[in-house]
Amino acid sequence: MPIHRRSRPCFAALFAAAFAVAAFAQPTMAQEPTGAAPTTPLAPLKPEHPEAAKPHHRGPRAPEGASGAQPVLLGQYGAWGAYTASPGGKKVCFALAKPASSETNPPNRPRDPSYMFISSRPADKVRNEVSIIIGYKFRPNSEATAEVGATTFALYTEKDGAWIKNSAEEAHMVEAMRAGEKAVVKGVSSHGTHTTDTFSLKGLAEALDRADQECK
């Protein structure tokens, strides 16, 4: 059963006002941290699910102009970077990747960059929360999906964000991604464009381990 989220997304405060990632390196070994990553967005806070039944606090959103919101790169592991930031003074650690490939149907429809996050916020007792910025506004009241191996996870959507619909499956999804090769995210835009984003999972386990070290 989906879990109720009291916090609402603050896209302007947490990531819409942040910057688009220019590119990710794809090394086979972890890179040394390079300090500030000024072009890295923050993960969106999970909004209240419309079918929610059980109250559970996911933490307040950061205020406009919150200090510490600029993420710092901890290390790059394959396709995934490990980052930390402190929007509103609350520490968040996350793994972040761009898709290895993206397709639209009809073809070649323009869209902003897409990102997948797995985030932990110790102050809010949130660990390994999966979220996606898709690069366009989803069709209202539509669902998206994330396929990891033979398992498909339903995602609910709001604006340009997507989160796992059944929170009880979130840990299963993260473990499947740790052991998997790719995650395929599918959604439909407000204009009816169907998208398929394929994320490589190379380096995810190492990036999550590094992020977990920072947010114990």
**DSSP secondary structure, 94-157, as one string:** EEEE--SEEEEESTT------EEEEEEEGGGTEEEEEEEE-SSPBPTT-EEEEEETTEEEEEEE
* Radius of gyration over every alpha carbon of the chain, rounded to an integer in angstroms: 16
Q: Which two tokens stand for residue 56?
A: 């559970």
Domains of the chain from N-terminus onward: 3-214 (2.60.40.1880)
From first CA to last CA, the distance across the chain in angstroms is 28
Buried/exposed code over 66-90 (b: 16+ C-beta within 10 A; e: otherwise): bebbbbbbbbbbbbbbbbbbbbbeb
What is the value of pTM for the model shown? Answer: 0.74
Q: Which two tokens stand for residue 170?
A: 């979130």
Beta-bridge partners for 3: 54
Element (H, E) at 33: none
Measured distance CA(107)–CA(169) in Å, rounded = 32
Per-residue pLDDT of the chain (216 residues; tens, 9 = 90+): 443 343 433 333 333 333 333 233 333 333 333 333 336 777 777 776 554 333 333 333 332 333 457 899 999 999 999 999 998 899 999 999 999 999 999 999 999 999 999 999 999 999 999 999 999 999 999 999 999 999 999 999 999 999 999 999 999 999 999 999 999 999 999 999 999 999 999 999 999 999 999 998
Measured distance CA(148)–CA(52) in Å, rounded = 25
The answer to whether 15 and 44 have CB atoms below 8 angstroms apart is yes
Query: What confidence score (pLDDT) does residue 75 get?
Result: 97
Measured distance CA(52)–CA(188) in Å, rounded = 23
